[in-house]
Amino acid sequence: MKVAGVIEGFYGPPWTHDERLDLIRFCGAHGLNTWVYAPKDDPYHRRLWREPYPDGDLARIAELAAESGRHGVELAYAIAPGLSIRAGDESELEALEAKREQLRGAGVRAFQLLWDDIDPDAVSAVAQAEIANFFAGGEPLVVCPMGYAGTEETPYRRAFAPPLDPQIVLYWTGPEVASTGIERDELALAVRSFADNELLLWDSYAVNDWAPETLFLGPLRGRDPQLVQGKLHGIVANAMVQCVPSKLALATVADWARDPDAYDPVASYERALRDHGAEVVESLRRLAPERVAVSIPRDVPALIEALALGVDAAAAIGLLEPFT
């Protein structure tokens, strides 16, 4: 796979600057080569996409880009203009290009274009493809389509995908928005539905912005190792609103991406607990200072099952602490 990384792509309070720097270093240490900047509630990423970043914000992005370079990680900035962009207006394309140039000046070299989570009538599928082709400019580009989940052909995909530059890679979340399992044949069907464009798995394990108090702290499971034999550009994991606790799951994503055939979720999780368990528990204590009684799992496989459906911070401390 060409890409293995993390995306800050959730709704809710974005990570702090220090958390982002820490996650970039984490990515480098675990062999993840990409970190995507796409927090939904950064106004300059989405709602105010036309407006340039203020100097202070731009300086912090420049620091993220520099830190990424030091750790062998590519910082990709994603812009999401779909809430308000006016299709057919040349000045809108100029605004997109101006925003990209500002970020290039801060050291950002990779860009993505996101059409997710917008009103179906906001921008037509054909217009989305035209804008994507402009933004690509004949070079490789990652684009998130409006219909990013599922395997079936749809009117949207039939209008959107065929006009795309063949170098454009499309995000796909699997058969569901948050997929418990993803098989190679499902990937093949999705590729066909997107006119044979290569897909990049936007993996929604362990994102929790729909219920931020629920933490998904176990290992990645249910990903067919044969996915890498299909037309898959890579995997980008959407982390939790809670930055440091995300490390347990993200470390296992890194292991899966490194060698899907050899991936063992239990062994991977044991390593994640060894490397990050104490740090995660300490972070969780700040969320839930009061202790609660839990039934202690007998071993790591039992711990994984206890965490599988998500737990709150207090329960997570009780479950994880004996293993850290």
Question: Do the beta carbons of residue 321 and residue 297 sit within 8 Å?
Answer: no
Length of the chain: 324
Contacting residues for 11 by C-beta, under 8 A, at least 6 apart: 40, 41, 209
Residue 290: count of CB within 10 angstroms of its CB: 8
Distance CA 109, CA 107 (A): 6
Phi and psi, residue 5, nearest 5°: -165, -165
Distance CA 109, CA 123 (A): 27
Residue 299 backbone class (left: φ over 0; alpha: ψ -120 to 50; beta: rest): beta
- Pairing between β-strand 141-144 and β-strand 232-238 as defined by DSSP bridges: unpaired
For 212-289, where are the alpha helices, taking DSSP H only?
Answer: 246-258, 265-287
Q: How far is CA 300 from CA 201, 216, 218, 221, 318, in A?
A: 28, 15, 10, 14, 14
For 154-311, where are the alpha helices, taking DSSP H only?
Answer: 155-160, 184-193, 246-258, 265-287, 300-307
Question: Do the beta carbons of residue 324 and residue 297 sit within 8 Å?
Answer: no
Distance CA 254, CA 272 (A): 10
Q: How many Å is the Cα radius of gyration of the chain?
A: 20
Residue from 22, 117, 209, 312 carrying the catalytic annotation:
117
Residue 89: active-site member = no
Q: How far is CA 318 from CA 85, 131, 267, 324, in A?
A: 48, 50, 21, 11
Residues labelled as active-site residues: 117
